[in-house]
Chains A and B, each alone.
Chain A
Amino acid sequence: MRIYRFFVALLVAGTLQVAQAEVFEHTLSNGLKVIVKEDHRAPVVVQQIWYKAGSMDEITGKTGIAHVLEHLMFKGTKQVPAGEFSRRIAAAGGRENAFTSYDYTAYFQQLHKSKLPLAMRLESDRMHGLNLTDAEFSKEIKVVMEERRMRTDDDPHSLLQEKMMSVIFQEHPYQHPVIGWMSDLETLTAADAKAWYRQWYAPNNATLVIAGDVDASVVFKLAQRYYGNIPRQVLPIRRNFTEPAQLGIKHLAVKAPAELPQLVMSYHAPVLSKPAQDWQPYALEIMVGVLDGSESARLNKHLVREQQIASAVGVGYDSASRGPGLVTLEATPSTGKTIGEVEAALRQEIASLVKDGVSAEELQRVKAQVRAGEVYKLDSVFYQAMQIGQMESIGLGHKTLPLMLEKLQAVTAEQVQQVALTFLQDDNLTVAVLDPQPLDSNKKKITEGNRHARQ
């Protein structure tokens, strides 16, 4: 049994001495990686189990199965009847839930530290003992369809985003929504869920993250006791999807009942693959901070406050994911302004970034925000565990976290200008527009635009 122990050094300015956050890891003989983050501020603990299986691992016609299985994981095992998992966690004073993304599926419980063994017993039991019945499946698939209606079909912005992703990506499975197309949800079966569970739910495809007021060596013993006997499995070979070069701008429009139009512009962008050598993803993160890191960052200051072309703006980019990255800018035109005017204003901001770069002051501001954010993060044990789980699940490993902070602080103004020039190019761009429709007269239009959601 080897235990690796190391410190996540916090890159806090000057001599600030934050209690160094201790992270311990150990891999069980069945391949389950256990990571412990000790934090003794409060007598609580969080358990998170992360499976490296997300919607991007699904196949055509079976979209949504990763998320459906996530729901079914609460529906009972040979040992624990349906509904009992939640009841026992609740009776222990716990909070629990689960989430599915493109890249992974994760389950968590937050409890008093004395209840960790109970949470481990229940979580390990459903790693290998799930009892999937047709009856539970047929009820739960209806719940998922209601979830889809609520989150996507009836939400104009989500609908725009779903349709946009399917235009942006031609080959990569990110083109499919995590929740699945309605037509697939309608045809999925309990057998599909069983197959998914058999394929991916194995100790050697999971990371267990425990954070809170615990002793790492005790946690490793508990992990061995509850998870240690679950057999390792042969995992399917993962297809390594790529996304071909885009070769020219793409446009789409989505009509939905709403008042305000919305413009979204997404550019393909790289993500971290060799965190120690890469520089572009770090420069892109800083670029996003310069554009949208605060109310006084460029987009809000120029478009919302000064020119008053937009009533809201936003920029997103995530440097850490299993699949390809995107830099996304979005804006809502002010009343009386057009989508065209907003697009021109966003393009002007990009042009100025490419031509004139960023100031030393802007760079310092974003870096100061990153450093402060690392301190604020210490107030949430749950979030610290989340970061560890995400980094493990996408294959970069949690040791990349301190490295990323170091690399972010080292980004130069020239690098920011360089990534803007390289990636914010029209050939790389998809432009999507939400075309708002009146509530009264648009029933027909909605149905036409939303064939996948027919009930």
Chain B
Amino acid sequence: MLASKLFAAKLRAGTALAVVLCCVATTSLATPHIQHWQSASGAKVLFVENHDIPMLDVAVSVAAGSSFDTAEKSGVAGMTQHLLDLGTAQSSEDDISRGMADIGAQLGGSFDQDRASVSLRTLSSERDQALRLMAGVLQQPVFPEAILAREKARVVAALKEAETQPASIADKAFQQAVFGAHPYALPVSGEVASVEKITVQDLQDFYRTHYSASRAVVAIMGDVTQAQAEAIAQQLTAALPVSAAPPALPAVAMQIAASEQRIPHPASQSHILIGAPGMSRTDPDYFPLYVGNYILGGGGFVSRLMNEVREKRGLAYSVYSYFMPLKQPGALQIGLQTKKEQADEALKLVRYTLAEFIAKGPTEKELLGAKQNIIGGFPLRIDSNRKILDYLSVIGFYDLPLTYLDDFTGKIERVTVAQIHEAFARHIHPAQMATVIVGAPEVKETSGVKNK
């Protein structure tokens, strides 16, 4: 948003992605009491009742992310989600946005490879009107022809813009190098050519196939009673389409060939991404990998990558690593930006740091530091309605145990150096990773793939 741009504050570390959370050995922390049931519609519901603030947060997530696209129709999933609130059987796009604004309610949403979601924040006193509009958005979208044409043009313009910017060029090439023919490789908003071909019929078909109540998770947090929450969940999902489950996704190929793409760009910095398929949300190694990644490149200013690349040598402002845990294994991604002339030096250093970590594992001291941070910082993960709502959606969507938050610090505490060492060795093979360098130094060999 413009106002924030003009504000021009400079954060010392800008990579939200790299910030992994944290905490200490506090004994018994109150975790929110999660109520859970299946709505008559078939939707799964997770609810936390809290009346501290007179407001309500609701999110409905559906297994309808970009991994359900095909290469030919890449972008249909994203466009379906995007058009949900741009016209329903009862309301025009303007009725919806004005109706929300009139009561100060905020309708939002999110979209990734796995999930499409619609979320609402409203004063609890105004919830009837807000929920009525939201119910229409979820259950009676009409995907108007003229609005689809307009939004296609906007998405295509944004995609073309992205194709000129080094960070997005790198990200797209990286996903393709890591996931190959798997749908996780598809750009979440599609390609220019495929978006241009999207029809209203495509959106209706996609909606009918994927937006069924049995694939929906309703998260409710805030100032309503359980009886009210039950009615809300039903109101938002009872009229979703009924459909058979779509075919399961193919499995992610965990072994990839080493590759290195050097893509020219006039930017002053090289944007470097290194990675490989990593872990799923339900991987048995989830906690060892999570804690290990804190040590490698997730732990803000105290990670190995940050220490080697930035603190010791001043080679980059931002350097990080993270696992993107999805239904199937998402990527382990390591990233940094550095002045072109020193890109090869930085790349070498990052690869060395990663290889060292995988070969030898963390030290006991590093593990202790990681546990102190992750366990000690646990209260910060659940200190707002917004954060709790997000946990409810994730727990529901990925079928995590309802005791996930209660168990969290114990699972971290039990991770050992050996487990991290073994888990990384099992999942990440430094000789089989994809590297993308956008704005690569020109003296090196030209674009292409080379085996290492």
Among A193-201, A256-264, A404-412, the one that faces the other chain is A256-264
In the complex, B125 has a CB within 8 A of chain A:
yes
| 9-residue interface stretch from B212-220, B231-239, B263-271, B426-434 | B263-271
Query: Complex Cα distance A439/B162, Å?
Result: 12
Interface of A is mostly: mixed
Cα–Cα distance between A370 and B264 once the two chains are bound (Å): 47
| Known A101-B7, A139-B314; contact A93-B153, beta-carbon cutoff 8 A | no
A87–B5 touching, CB < 8 Å: no
Q: Is the CB of A372 within 8 A of B10?
A: no
In the bound complex, do residue B23 and residue A93 qualify as a contact, i.e. CB atoms below 8 Å apart? yes
With A257-B266, A311-B157, A455-B339 as known contacts, state yes or no: A143 contacts B10, CB within 8 Å. Answer: no
Q: Contact: B12 with A98, CB < 8 Å? A: yes
Partner of A328, one of B6, B100, B105: B6
Residues of A within 8 A of B341 (CB): 455
Is there an interface contact between B382 and A146, defined as CB atoms closer than 8 Å? no
Q: Which of B33-41, B297-305, B354-362 sits within the interface?
A: B297-305
B-contacting residues, A97-126, CB 8 Å:
97-102, 110-112, 114-115
**Least CB separation from B159: chain A residue:** A259
Q: Is B248 an interface residue (CB 8 A)?
A: no
Chain B residues 333 to 382 lying within 8 A of chain A, measured CB to CB, are 337-339, 341, 369, 372-380, 382
Interface size class of A (residues with CB under 8 A): 35 or more
Is the Cβ of B300 less than 8 Å from the Cβ of A86? yes
B243 at the interface (CB under 8 A from A): no
Interface-lining segment among A183-191, A276-284, A374-382, A413-421: A374-382
Which residues from B are CB-within-8-Å of A83? 301-302, 307, 311
A259→B161 contact, CB < 8 A: yes
> Within 8 Å of chain B (Cβ to Cβ): is A225?
no
The reply on B158 being an interface residue by CB < 8 A is yes
Distance of A19 from chain B, by nearest CB (Å): 7
Q: Does chain B have a CB within 8 A of A318?
A: yes
Q: Judging by beta carbons under 8 Å apart, are B372 and A90 in contact?
A: yes
CB-CB contacts of B96-108 with A at 8 A, as 1s and 0s?
A: 0110111111100
Q: Check B153 against A371 for contact (C-beta < 8 Å).
A: no
Per-position 1/0 for A221-250, Cβ under 8 A of B: 000000000000000000000000000000
Say whether B444 faces chain A, with CB atoms less than 8 Å apart: no
Whether the Cβ atoms of A42 and B337 lie closer than 8 Å is: no
CA distance A167 to B1 in the complex (A): 22
| B residues in contact with A93, CB < 8 Å | 22-24, 26, 372-380
Looking across the interface, which residue of chain A has its beta carbon closest to that of B121?
A376
Confirm or deny: A301 has a beta carbon within 8 angstroms of a beta carbon on chain B. Answer: yes
With the chains together, A144 CA to B302 CA distance in Å? 18
A365 engages B98 (CB within 8 Å): yes
Please name all residues of chain B whose beta carbon is closer than 8 Å to the beta carbon of A334 when the two chains form the complex.
153-154, 157
A296 engages B369 (CB within 8 Å) = no
**B156: interface (CB < 8 Å):** yes
Q: Which of A307-339 contact B (CB under 8 A)?
A: 308, 311-312, 314-318, 326, 328, 330, 332, 334-335
Q: Are B386 and A305 in contact (CB under 8 A)?
A: no
Q: Contacts of B166 on A, CB cut-off 8 Å? A: 154
A87 to B338, CA, bound (A): 25
Mark contacts of B255-294 with chain A using CB atoms, 8 A cut-off: 1 yes-contact digit, 0 otherwise: 0000000001111110000000000000000000000000
For residue A43, CB closer than 8 A to chain B, the reply is yes
Of B49-57, B202-210, B322-330, B413-421, the stretch lying at the interface with chain A is: B49-57
Distance of A378 Cα from B377 Cα, bound (Å): 21
- CB A290 to nearest CB in B, in angstroms, measures 11
> Known contacts A115-B24, A305-B150, A334-B157: does B377 contact A95 (CB below 8 Å)?
yes
Q: Is the CB of B376 within 8 A of A95?
A: no
What residues on B are CB-neighbors of A296 within 8 Å?
Answer: 94, 97-98, 101
A380 with B23, Cβ < 8 A, contacts A100-B10, A147-B10, A314-B1 known: no
Residue of A nearest to B314 (CB): A142
With A44-B380, A375-B53 as given contacts, are A260 and B337 in contact (CB-CB < 8 Å)? no
Q: Does A294 contact B (CB under 8 A)?
A: yes
Q: A139-B312, A153-B268, A330-B2 are in contact. List 7 more A-B contacts (CB 8 A).
A: A90-B369, A91-B373, A99-B12, A257-B267, A260-B157, A334-B154, A380-B384
A contacts, CB < 8 Å to B:
12-14, 16, 18-19, 41-44, 67, 70-71, 74, 83, 86-87, 90-102, 110-112, 114-115, 138-147, 149-151, 153-154, 157-158, 161, 177-179, 257-260, 293-297, 301, 304-305, 308, 311-312, 314-318, 326, 328, 330, 332, 334-335, 364-365, 368-373, 375-376, 378-381, 436, 439, 442-443, 446, 453, 455
Ordered by A's residue number, 25 sampled pairs between the chains whose C-beta atoms are within 8 Å are A42-B382, A86-B301, A90-B369, A92-B24, A95-B21, A99-B9, A111-B380, A115-B24, A143-B310, A149-B268, A178-B9, A179-B10, A259-B163, A312-B154, A318-B6, A328-B2, A334-B157, A365-B98, A365-B101, A368-B102, A368-B103, A372-B122, A375-B53, A446-B266, A453-B268
